[in-house]
Amino acid sequence: MPCWALSRYRGPARQAVLAAKERNRRDLARPLGLALAAGLAELRDPDRPLILVPSPSRSAAARRRGGDPVLRCAWIAARSLRSCQVLPCLRVWWGVRDSAGLTARERDRNLRGRVNVVPFPGHAANAQVVLVDDVLTTGATVSACARALVAAGTRPDGVFVTCAG
């Protein structure tokens, strides 16, 4: 599955993602969401509806952060794109640990089989489905999300992240 990133995970991009994610900088959702929208506008098929599926946050992390920064950015991106909607249909099971500090193998084991799809209304058969996340490191999160979507009958067309590194 193709994956695109707006930036490497370093410098100002890394600082912005970390501030939005770990320091409750909700004001950064707008510039990050608009950057996401600009990237998606360049890559999407303009003749197909676009569905953004944000990677899920653990409930405890979302509470600590005052919400889900990836979901916030996805909503902002969708509002600025034509024929685009957000489908927040992924959930992580209780017991999934924070991935910070885990090796690639530990991250995969932590998430394997623990991301599920909650029921959602059908979408246009020709829709372009893109997973969105803030950071791609080992790929464990997007892999678990893609497996869950495929198991539910939806094959993602790609992954778009703010930073990769």
3-state helix, strand, coil in the chain (%, to 5): 40, 20, 40
Q: What is the pTM of this model?
A: 0.86
What's 3-164's CATH class? alpha beta
**Cα separation, 91 vs 55, whole angstroms:** 8
pLDDT tens, residue by residue, 31-63? 999 999 999 999 999 999 999 999 997 666 666
End-to-end C-alpha distance for the chain, whole angstroms? 18
Q: How confident is the model at residue 55, as a pLDDT?
A: 93
Query: Would you give the DSSP letter of residue 26?
Result: G
pLDDT tens, residue by residue, 88-115? 999 887 667 667 777 778 776 767 767 8
Q: How confident is the model at residue 59, as a pLDDT?
A: 64
Q: How confident is the model at residue 97, as a pLDDT?
A: 67
Q: How confident is the model at residue 164, as a pLDDT?
A: 97
Closest among 81, 58, 120, 8 to 71, alpha carbons compared: 58
